[in-house]
């Protein structure tokens, strides 16, 4: 299937969701995203890293350097309490949006 651009404003939601399950480094996040969406979404590192740094500056993420699965030192990103709260808000908003769109498409 063709790749699709990630809809505006949803990258952060997906990053936060992925990081709420496990701490990951940049490459790990992009791999996870591709795997979870069956390669429909492939995040461009030029968008991923700015988002990660922004989230970190906002205190939603914390990072630490530690050896990765294949023994390279990598920067792991971890959700903070503020990040969890942000995720909840994002998620609630997204649920409303997708419900609203589905209502239109199904046109009851």
| CA atoms of 42 and 32, how far apart (whole Å) | 10
Q: Which of residues 61-100 bind other proteins (CB under 8 A)?
A: 68, 70, 72-75
Provide the minimum distance between the beta carbon of 50 and other proteins in the complex, in angstroms, as a whole number.
4
Q: Contact between 103 and other proteins (CB under 8 A)? A: no
Residue with tokens 């990081």: 19
Indicate whether 5 belongs to the interface with other proteins (CB under 8 A).
Answer: no
Indicate the residue among 54 and 96 with the shorter CB distance to other proteins. 54
The answer to whether residue 31 forms part of the interface with other proteins (CB under 8 A) is yes
| Nearest distance in Å: CB 12, other proteins | 12
Question: Rule CB under 8 A: which residues touch other proteins?
Answer: 25-28, 31, 44-47, 49-51, 53-54, 57-59, 68, 70, 72-75
């Amino acid at each position: 299937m063709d790749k699709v651009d990630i809809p505006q404003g949803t990258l952060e939601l997906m990053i936060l969701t992925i990081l709420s399950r496990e701490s990951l480094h940049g490459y790990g996040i992009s791999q996870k995203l591709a795997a979870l969406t069956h390669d429909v979404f492939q995040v461009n590192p030029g968008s991923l890293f700015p988002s990660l740094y922004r989230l970190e500056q906002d205190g939603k993420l914390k990072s630490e350097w530690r050896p990765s699965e294949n023994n390279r030192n990598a920067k792991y990103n971890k959700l903070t309490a503020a990040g969890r709260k942000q995720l909840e808000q994002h998620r609630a908003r997204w649920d409303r949006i997708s419900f609203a769109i589905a209502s239109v498409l199904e046109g009851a």
